[in-house]
Amino acid sequence: MGKRPTIQMVADRAGVSRGTVDRVLNNRSYVKAEVRTRILAAMQELGYVSPRDAHQRVLSESRFSPIRLGVILPNWPDDHFRNEVQRGIQTARAELTDFHVDVMLCHCQTDIPGEVIELLDQLVADGAQGIAMCAIANIAIEAKIDQLAAQGIPTITFNSDLPNSKRLCFIGQDYRRSGRIAAELMSKCIDPKGKILAAVGNLEFDGHRTRLDGFCERMHELGFDNGQIEIVETFNDYHTTYRKVLESLSRCPDLSAIYMANQSVAGCTEAIHAATPKTRIRVICHDISESTKRLLRSGDVDLAISQDIYQQGYLPLILLRDLLQKGKSPAAQQPGSNISIFCAENL
pLDDT band of residue 186 (cuts 50, 70, 90) is very high
Counting other chains too, the contacts that 5-8 makes at CB distance below 8 Å and 24 or more residues apart are: 5/43, 5/46, 5/47, 5/48, 5/49, 6/48, 7/48, 7/50
The arithmetic mean of pLDDT across residues 21-33, rounded, is 81
Q: Return d(Cα 77, Cα 80) in angstroms, integer.
A: 9
Given pLDDT bands bounded at 50, 70 and 90, which one contains residue 60? low
**Cβ contact 11:4 at 8 Å:** no
The pLDDT tens digits for 235-292 are 989 999 999 999 999 999 999 999 999 889 999 999 999 999 999 999 999 999 999 9
Strand partners, 157: 133, 170
**pLDDT-derived band at 191, boundaries 50, 70, 90:** very high
Q: Examine the domain organization and report whether 186 and 288 are in the same domain.
A: yes
Report which of residues 51 and 116 the model is more confident about: 116
User: Which pLDDT score, from 0 to 100, does residue 62 have?
Assistant: 59
Q: Are residues 326 and 180 in the same domain?
A: no
Whose CA is closest to 128, among 331, 300, 321? 321
The pLDDT value recorded for residue 1 is 42
Q: Confirm whether 330 is domain-assigned.
A: yes
**How far is 153 from 135, CA to CA, in rounded Å?**
17
Please report the sign of the dihedral spanned by the C-alpha atoms of residue 157, residue 161, residue 162, residue 165. Answer: positive
What is the rounded CA–CA span in Å between residue 104 and residue 100? 13
Distance CA 200, CA 65 (A): 44
> Hey, which residues does 52 pair with through a beta bridge?
none
Same structural domain, 131 and 71: yes
Q: How far apart are the first and last CA of the chain?
A: 44
Quick check: is 259 in a domain?
yes
Report which of 162, 127, 110 is spatially closest to residue 141, judged by C-alpha positions.
162
Provide the residue count of the chain.
347
DSSP bridge partners of 200: 233, 261
Residues 167 and 187 placed together within one structural domain of the fold: no
Considering the domain architecture, whether residues 209 and 282 belong to the same structural domain is answered as yes
Residues 18 and 74 in one domain: no
Looking up residue 48, the CATH number of its domain turns out to be 1.10.260.40
**Residue 126 falls within a domain, yes or no?**
yes
Q: Which one, of 321, 305, 278, lies nearest residue 181 by Cα?
A: 305
Same domain, 207 and 293: yes
Q: Are 191 and 185 in contact (CB under 8 A)?
A: no
96 and 45 within one domain: no
In a domain, 345, yes or no: no
What is the distance of C-alpha 88 from the center of its chain? 11
What is the CATH classification number for the domain harbouring 285? 3.40.50.2300
Overall number of domains in the chain: 3
Count Cβ atoms within 10 A of the Cβ of residue 50 and give its class: 0-12 exposed, 13-18 middle, 19 or more buried.
Answer: middle
The Cα 287–Cα 87 span in angstroms is 16
Same domain, 235 and 325: no
Residue 2 lies in a domain: no
**Inter-axis angle of helices 18-25 and 33-46, nearest 10:** 90
214: containing domain: 175-306
Distance, in Å, from the CA atom of 233 to the CA atom of 157, rounded to the nearest integer, reads 23
CB 305 within 8 A of CB 336: no
Asked if residue 43 is part of any domain, the answer here is yes
Rounded to an integer, the average pLDDT of 184-196 is 98
Contact residues for 327 (Cβ-Cβ < 8 A; gap 6+):
none
- For residues 32-49, average pLDDT: 87
Q: How far apart are CA 69 and CA 158, in angstroms?
A: 15
| Same domain? 145 vs 75 | yes
